Amino acid sequence: MDPAIRVRGLVTRFGDHVVHEDLDLDVRRGEILGVVGGSGTGKSVLLRQITGLLEPDAGRIEVLGETVRDTSPEAFRRLRRRWGVMFQGGALFSALTVRENVEAPMREQLDLPDDLRARLAAVKVRMVGLPADAMEKRPSELSGGMRKRAGFARAIALDPEIVFLDEPTAGLDPIGAAALDALVAQLRDVLGLTVFLVTHDLDTLHAICDRVAVLAERRVLAVGSIDELRALPHPWIAEYFGGPRGRAAAGER
Protein backbone atom coordinates (compact mmCIF):
# COMPACT_ATOMS: atom_id res chain seq x y z
CA MET A 1 0.00 0.00 0.00
CA ASP A 2 1.25 3.49 -0.85
CA PRO A 3 2.15 5.66 2.14
CA ALA A 4 -0.30 8.30 3.31
CA ILE A 5 2.49 10.89 3.09
CA ARG A 6 5.62 10.76 0.96
CA VAL A 7 8.32 13.44 1.11
CA ARG A 8 11.31 13.32 -1.22
CA GLY A 9 14.35 15.59 -1.53
CA LEU A 10 12.88 18.39 0.58
CA VAL A 11 14.98 21.54 0.86
CA THR A 12 14.04 24.43 3.15
CA ARG A 13 15.97 27.67 3.48
CA PHE A 14 15.31 30.88 5.37
CA GLY A 15 17.82 33.28 3.87
CA ASP A 16 21.23 31.70 4.28
CA HIS A 17 19.99 29.32 6.96
CA VAL A 18 19.31 25.80 5.69
CA VAL A 19 16.71 23.95 7.78
CA HIS A 20 16.12 20.86 5.62
CA GLU A 21 18.40 19.44 2.96
CA ASP A 22 17.44 16.40 0.88
CA LEU A 23 14.90 15.28 3.50
CA ASP A 24 12.95 12.07 2.81
CA LEU A 25 10.06 10.67 4.85
CA ASP A 26 7.23 8.15 4.44
CA VAL A 27 4.22 8.04 6.78
CA ARG A 28 2.30 4.77 6.64
CA ARG A 29 -1.47 4.71 6.43
CA GLY A 30 -3.11 4.15 9.79
CA GLU A 31 -0.02 4.73 11.93
CA ILE A 32 0.73 7.30 14.59
CA LEU A 33 4.11 8.73 13.63
CA GLY A 34 5.89 10.84 16.23
CA VAL A 35 8.28 13.49 14.89
CA VAL A 36 11.07 14.61 17.23
CA GLY A 37 14.23 16.65 17.01
CA GLY A 38 16.17 19.38 18.70
CA SER A 39 15.18 23.03 18.64
CA GLY A 40 15.47 24.51 15.16
CA THR A 41 15.36 21.21 13.27
CA GLY A 42 12.18 22.27 11.49
CA LYS A 43 9.57 19.89 12.88
CA SER A 44 6.68 22.36 12.75
CA VAL A 45 8.03 23.77 9.49
CA LEU A 46 7.81 20.28 7.98
CA LEU A 47 4.20 19.94 9.18
CA ARG A 48 3.30 23.25 7.57
CA GLN A 49 4.97 22.27 4.31
CA ILE A 50 3.14 18.95 4.12
CA THR A 51 -0.16 20.75 4.70
CA GLY A 52 0.62 23.35 2.05
CA LEU A 53 0.97 26.33 4.37
CA LEU A 54 4.66 26.80 3.51
CA GLU A 55 6.33 26.11 0.21
CA PRO A 56 9.71 24.35 0.29
CA ASP A 57 12.59 25.54 -1.83
CA ALA A 58 12.85 22.16 -3.52
CA GLY A 59 11.52 18.64 -3.27
CA ARG A 60 8.23 16.81 -3.70
CA ILE A 61 5.44 16.19 -1.20
CA GLU A 62 2.61 13.74 -1.86
CA VAL A 63 -0.37 13.29 0.45
CA LEU A 64 -2.84 10.47 -0.18
CA GLY A 65 -1.35 9.96 -3.62
CA GLU A 66 -1.68 13.59 -4.70
CA THR A 67 1.03 16.20 -5.02
CA VAL A 68 0.72 19.11 -2.61
CA ARG A 69 0.84 22.56 -4.19
CA ASP A 70 1.73 21.30 -7.69
CA THR A 71 -1.94 21.13 -8.57
CA SER A 72 -4.90 23.36 -9.36
CA PRO A 73 -6.44 25.47 -6.57
CA GLU A 74 -9.63 23.42 -6.72
CA ALA A 75 -7.76 20.11 -6.53
CA PHE A 76 -5.76 21.40 -3.55
CA ARG A 77 -8.99 22.54 -1.88
CA ARG A 78 -10.42 19.03 -2.26
CA LEU A 79 -7.20 17.52 -0.91
CA ARG A 80 -7.25 19.79 2.14
CA ARG A 81 -10.65 18.39 3.09
CA ARG A 82 -8.95 15.02 3.61
CA TRP A 83 -6.79 16.20 6.51
CA GLY A 84 -7.23 18.14 9.73
CA VAL A 85 -4.69 20.15 11.70
CA MET A 86 -4.39 20.94 15.39
CA PHE A 87 -1.76 23.61 15.96
CA GLN A 88 0.05 24.31 19.22
CA GLY A 89 -2.31 25.29 22.01
CA GLY A 90 -5.34 24.34 19.94
CA ALA A 91 -5.17 27.68 18.04
CA LEU A 92 -8.89 28.29 18.53
CA PHE A 93 -10.55 31.51 17.40
CA SER A 94 -10.87 33.40 20.68
CA ALA A 95 -14.02 35.32 19.69
CA LEU A 96 -15.91 32.16 18.70
CA THR A 97 -17.57 29.53 20.87
CA VAL A 98 -16.43 25.92 20.78
CA ARG A 99 -19.35 25.09 18.50
CA GLU A 100 -18.48 27.92 16.14
CA ASN A 101 -14.82 26.87 16.12
CA VAL A 102 -15.72 23.29 15.20
CA GLU A 103 -18.17 24.53 12.58
CA ALA A 104 -15.54 26.79 10.97
CA PRO A 105 -14.05 24.13 8.63
CA MET A 106 -17.56 23.05 7.67
CA ARG A 107 -18.50 26.63 6.79
CA GLU A 108 -15.38 26.95 4.66
CA GLN A 109 -15.55 23.61 2.88
CA LEU A 110 -19.15 22.39 2.92
CA ASP A 111 -22.53 23.80 1.96
CA LEU A 112 -24.66 22.59 4.87
CA PRO A 113 -27.82 23.87 6.57
CA ASP A 114 -27.19 25.58 9.88
CA ASP A 115 -29.00 22.95 11.94
CA LEU A 116 -27.11 20.06 10.37
CA ARG A 117 -23.78 21.83 10.85
CA ALA A 118 -24.61 22.40 14.52
CA ARG A 119 -25.56 18.75 15.00
CA LEU A 120 -22.34 17.56 13.38
CA ALA A 121 -20.31 19.91 15.57
CA ALA A 122 -22.04 18.48 18.64
CA VAL A 123 -21.07 14.96 17.54
CA LYS A 124 -17.41 15.96 17.20
CA VAL A 125 -17.42 17.66 20.59
CA ARG A 126 -18.81 14.51 22.22
CA MET A 127 -16.24 12.37 20.40
CA VAL A 128 -13.36 14.24 22.05
CA GLY A 129 -14.89 13.91 25.50
CA LEU A 130 -16.09 17.47 26.10
CA PRO A 131 -19.35 18.01 28.01
CA ALA A 132 -22.35 19.38 26.14
CA ASP A 133 -22.21 22.67 28.06
CA ALA A 134 -18.77 23.39 26.55
CA MET A 135 -20.38 23.98 23.15
CA GLU A 136 -21.33 27.59 23.82
CA LYS A 137 -18.23 28.54 25.80
CA ARG A 138 -15.36 30.56 24.41
CA PRO A 139 -11.75 29.35 24.66
CA SER A 140 -11.00 31.72 27.55
CA GLU A 141 -13.65 29.91 29.61
CA LEU A 142 -12.02 26.51 29.14
CA SER A 143 -9.15 24.77 30.90
CA GLY A 144 -6.00 24.00 28.95
CA GLY A 145 -6.99 20.39 28.46
CA MET A 146 -10.47 21.35 27.27
CA ARG A 147 -9.02 23.79 24.76
CA LYS A 148 -6.82 21.01 23.38
CA ARG A 149 -9.84 18.74 23.03
CA ALA A 150 -11.79 21.49 21.30
CA GLY A 151 -8.90 21.97 18.90
CA PHE A 152 -8.91 18.25 18.21
CA ALA A 153 -12.68 18.35 17.58
CA ARG A 154 -12.12 21.06 14.99
CA ALA A 155 -9.32 19.01 13.39
CA ILE A 156 -11.70 16.07 12.83
CA ALA A 157 -14.66 18.24 11.81
CA LEU A 158 -14.55 17.11 8.17
CA ASP A 159 -13.96 13.40 8.89
CA PRO A 160 -10.34 13.55 7.67
CA GLU A 161 -8.11 10.64 6.75
CA ILE A 162 -5.03 12.31 8.27
CA VAL A 163 -4.67 14.45 11.39
CA PHE A 164 -1.64 16.64 12.00
CA LEU A 165 -0.98 17.43 15.67
CA ASP A 166 1.64 20.02 16.68
CA GLU A 167 2.75 19.56 20.31
CA PRO A 168 -0.72 18.46 21.45
CA THR A 169 0.25 17.80 25.09
CA ALA A 170 2.43 20.89 25.60
CA GLY A 171 1.42 22.76 28.75
CA LEU A 172 -0.74 19.96 30.14
CA ASP A 173 -0.20 18.27 33.48
CA PRO A 174 0.76 14.56 33.30
CA ILE A 175 -2.80 13.37 33.91
CA GLY A 176 -4.25 15.66 31.25
CA ALA A 177 -1.48 14.71 28.80
CA ALA A 178 -2.09 10.99 29.33
CA ALA A 179 -5.83 11.48 28.81
CA LEU A 180 -5.21 13.32 25.54
CA ASP A 181 -2.80 10.61 24.39
CA ALA A 182 -5.48 8.00 25.07
CA LEU A 183 -8.01 10.04 23.10
CA VAL A 184 -5.70 10.31 20.09
CA ALA A 185 -5.06 6.56 20.10
CA GLN A 186 -8.75 5.76 20.53
CA LEU A 187 -9.90 8.00 17.67
CA ARG A 188 -7.10 6.70 15.44
CA ASP A 189 -8.54 3.21 15.92
CA VAL A 190 -12.21 4.19 15.67
CA LEU A 191 -11.88 6.54 12.70
CA GLY A 192 -8.98 4.82 10.93
CA LEU A 193 -6.83 7.94 11.06
CA THR A 194 -3.23 8.43 10.09
CA VAL A 195 -1.63 10.72 12.70
CA PHE A 196 1.43 12.94 12.11
CA LEU A 197 2.41 14.07 15.61
CA VAL A 198 5.13 16.63 16.39
CA THR A 199 6.06 16.32 20.05
CA HIS A 200 8.77 16.58 22.70
CA ASP A 201 6.78 14.42 25.09
CA LEU A 202 8.62 11.15 25.70
CA ASP A 203 5.60 9.72 27.49
CA THR A 204 3.48 10.33 24.38
CA LEU A 205 6.06 8.63 22.18
CA HIS A 206 6.07 5.54 24.36
CA ALA A 207 2.31 5.47 24.92
CA ILE A 208 0.85 5.82 21.44
CA CYS A 209 3.40 6.17 18.62
CA ASP A 210 3.91 3.23 16.26
CA ARG A 211 7.11 4.76 14.91
CA VAL A 212 9.21 7.84 15.56
CA ALA A 213 11.04 9.98 13.00
CA VAL A 214 14.12 11.83 14.25
CA LEU A 215 15.00 15.14 12.58
CA ALA A 216 18.68 16.01 12.88
CA GLU A 217 21.46 17.23 10.62
CA ARG A 218 18.88 18.85 8.28
CA ARG A 219 17.17 15.57 7.41
CA VAL A 220 15.25 12.63 8.80
CA LEU A 221 18.13 10.85 10.47
CA ALA A 222 16.20 7.69 11.35
CA VAL A 223 12.68 6.27 11.53
CA GLY A 224 11.62 3.28 13.59
CA SER A 225 10.23 2.00 16.83
CA ILE A 226 11.72 3.41 20.01
CA ASP A 227 13.58 0.14 20.61
CA GLU A 228 15.06 0.34 17.12
CA LEU A 229 16.10 3.96 17.61
CA ARG A 230 17.66 3.28 21.01
CA ALA A 231 19.96 0.73 19.35
CA LEU A 232 21.47 3.39 17.08
CA PRO A 233 24.83 4.93 18.02
CA HIS A 234 24.01 8.55 17.12
CA PRO A 235 24.79 10.76 20.16
CA TRP A 236 21.61 12.89 20.04
CA ILE A 237 19.36 9.84 19.71
CA ALA A 238 21.25 8.07 22.50
CA GLU A 239 20.90 11.06 24.83
CA TYR A 240 17.25 11.71 23.96
CA PHE A 241 15.98 8.17 24.46
CA GLY A 242 18.66 6.94 26.87
CA GLY A 243 18.94 9.97 29.17
CA PRO A 244 17.19 10.17 32.54
CA ARG A 245 13.84 11.32 31.12
CA GLY A 246 13.98 8.80 28.31
CA ARG A 247 14.66 5.97 30.75
CA ALA A 248 11.86 7.16 33.02
CA ALA A 249 9.38 7.25 30.12
CA ALA A 250 10.42 3.71 29.25
CA GLY A 251 9.79 2.59 32.82
CA GLU A 252 13.48 2.11 33.57
CA ARG A 253 15.52 3.38 36.49
Q: Which domains does the chain have, with CATH numbers?
A: 31-48+73-249 (3.40.50.300)
Q: Spell out the residues 6+ positions from residue 160 whose beta carbon is closer than 8 angstroms to its own.
A: 81, 82, 83, 84, 193
Please determine, for residue 1, whether its predicted confidence score (pLDDT) is greater than 90.
no
Q: What is the mean pLDDT of the chain?
A: 93
d(CA 182, CA 2): 27
Please determine, for residue 90, whether its predicted confidence score (pLDDT) is greater than 90.
no
Mean pLDDT on 192-199:
97
d(CA 190, CA 116): 22
Residue 161 near residue 2 (C-beta atoms within 8 A): no
Give the bridge partners for 215, in sequence order: 37, 220
> Using the 8-state DSSP alphabet, how is residue 77 labeled?
H
Please determine, for residue 249, whether its predicted confidence score (pLDDT) is greater than 90.
no
Please determine, for residue 144, whether its predicted confidence score (pLDDT) is greater than 70.
yes
